Amino acid sequence: MTETGEETRIRTAQDDAADIYAEDGSIRSDFLAMVGAAIADRDLLFLRQNVARLHESELGDLIEAIQPDQRIALVRLLGDDFDLTALTEVDEAIRLQIVEHLPNAQIAAAIGDLDSDDAVYILEDLDHEDREEILAQLPFTERVRLRRALDYPESSAGRRMQTEFVAVPPFWTVGQTIDYMRDEEDLPETFTQIFVIDPTFKLLGTVDLDRILRTKRQVKVETIMRETTHPIPAEMDQEEAAQLFEQYDLLSAAVVDENERLVGVLTIDDVVDVIQEEAEEDLMRLGGVGDEELSDSVVETSRSRVPWLAVNLFTAFVSASVISLFEATIEQVVALAILMPIVAGMGGNAGSQTMTVTVRALATRNLDIHNAWRVARREAGVGLINGVLFGCLVGTVAALWFQDVSIGGLITTAMLINMFAAAMAGITIPILLHRAGADPAVSSAVFVTAITDTTGFFSFLGLATWWFMSS
């Protein structure tokens, strides 16, 4: 991309920012209509001036907003003017749909212009054959770089890193370094630090750009570099790398191979995406949904939601069989059937409050052996206080409703028992799952509900059976 080309793109993107979005953050309907008409009319002039020059994330939003067949038509019409980077901003299903409709030669030509991390992001979803065909059409160094990144495991730092970076030897002066950057054409599109390496590419240190700018020309870079810079092993999981960024407020970090040689750089913009994804993953898992995307089909979505429903169905039958133990009691006192969902449901709500706090605290590493005991005691206290509070409330209402003090007393006791059990289940189940190496966000809810349902039904119906049958 030429200097002028880049500047135009940036200016346009920002001038248009107010233009293409409506108040609520969605793309303006009249802009969508104009784009739709331009696609139908094959109006290349309009598309080049108003679509091709959008910022990659705006183009991504536009692609998501238009109809599937318009997407293919748009990308075909724009041809080389279509910025492939926009595909890193859309749902996986949409990305695959578009890439499958593009000739491999066109993808190969476009991939050469991308930053390596964006190129890898697009290539990693393709099937093996297409990927190899595209790689084969790239220049040698480009191909080697991308293949190296693709060889690292999925979700590793090596997959997310950018292989373009500026590296200089330690004996260079600040002046030499600046002169090199002024003359060299082939620099990364943007960067915030440069790396200092020895002749074997072993990482020696890092220098932030502001440090270079504050330092006199004759000073050697080795005297201003920082020695250890959280080098990130390429094999490290991206989530762990993101935690390092958060903890030490990094903007970018060197990625090194097993021999501590510099192979790439991980930048904060990719890390922000990882942080978002991880937080979203926890939320989705707690809600019983997996990696689904809004663009998934009906069948894909149904299928992905079946496992969680199936496991919950099993626990529902367990609670039903607990109820069936007390068939005879319910037959005599139907009020029990009316009230029992309250006991189970309130326990479930209290349990999910505690569980949510626990799962989140485990994910952010705020809960560990040093405070687990204190937090568990707190949750026990909360369970007791709210158990007493809501137990008495429900008991009073139930006694008035059914004009029966004993029913009020029974449900108060059962609520207290169940809300305490809920608190204990909400804190211990996620911790035990975490200790066992499982992801507490995935399976905690099922276990907690199983415990609050069975405890709720068993305590209420059991107490009632003992009371009514013995009196």
Of residues 29-58, those binding its own copies (CB under 8 A) = 29, 32, 55, 57-58
Q: Kindly state whether residue 167 participates in binding its own copies, applying the rule CB under 8 A.
A: no
SS3 156: strand
Least separation, in Å, of the C-beta of 186 and its own copies?
12
Q: Kindly state whether residue 249 participates in binding its own copies, applying the rule CB under 8 A.
A: yes
Binding residues for its own copies, total number by CB under 8 A: 124
Chain positions 393 to 452 lying near its own copies, rule: CB under 8 A, are 393-394, 397, 449
Q: Are 53 and 35 in contact (CB under 8 A)?
A: no
Cβ-based nearer residue to its own copies, 135 or 355: 355
SS3 419: helix
Phi and psi, residue 270, nearest 5°: -70, -35
- Residue 83: CB partners within 8 Å, gap ≥ 6? 52, 56, 59
Least separation, in Å, of the C-beta of 365 and its own copies?
5
From 312, 404, 439, 467, residue interacting with its own copies (rule: CB under 8 A): 312
Q: Which range, of 38-46, 147-155, 157-165, 244-252, touches its own copies by CB under 8 A?
A: 244-252
CA distance 375 to 380: 9
Q: Kindly state whether residue 146 participates in binding its own copies, applying the rule CB under 8 A.
A: no
Q: Kindly state whether residue 330 participates in binding its own copies, applying the rule CB under 8 A.
A: yes
CA distance 126 to 87: 13
Q: Kindly state whether residue 2 participates in binding its own copies, applying the rule CB under 8 A.
A: no
Q: Which range, of 40-48, 98-106, 347-355, 463-471, touches its own copies by CB under 8 A?
A: 347-355
Task: Draw the binding track, 80-109, toward its own copies (x: CB under 8 A; -: no contact).
Answer: ------------------------------
Instruction: Name the strand (E) or helix (H) holding 11.
Output: helix 3-20
Burial of residue 164 (CB within 10 Å: 0-12, 13-18, 19+) is: middle
Q: Are 457 and 319 in contact (CB under 8 A)?
A: yes
Q: Kindly state whether residue 307 participates in binding its own copies, applying the rule CB under 8 A.
A: no
| Residue whose C-alpha is closest to residue 164's, from 233, 118, 220, 230 | 118
Least separation, in Å, of the C-beta of 349 and its own copies?
5
Chain positions 176 to 195 lying near its own copies, rule: CB under 8 A, are 178, 181-182, 187, 190-192
Q: Kindly state whether residue 375 participates in binding its own copies, applying the rule CB under 8 A.
A: yes
Q: Kindly state whether residue 148 participates in binding its own copies, applying the rule CB under 8 A.
A: no
DSSP per-residue codes, 318-341: HHHHHHHTTHHHHHH-THHHHHHH
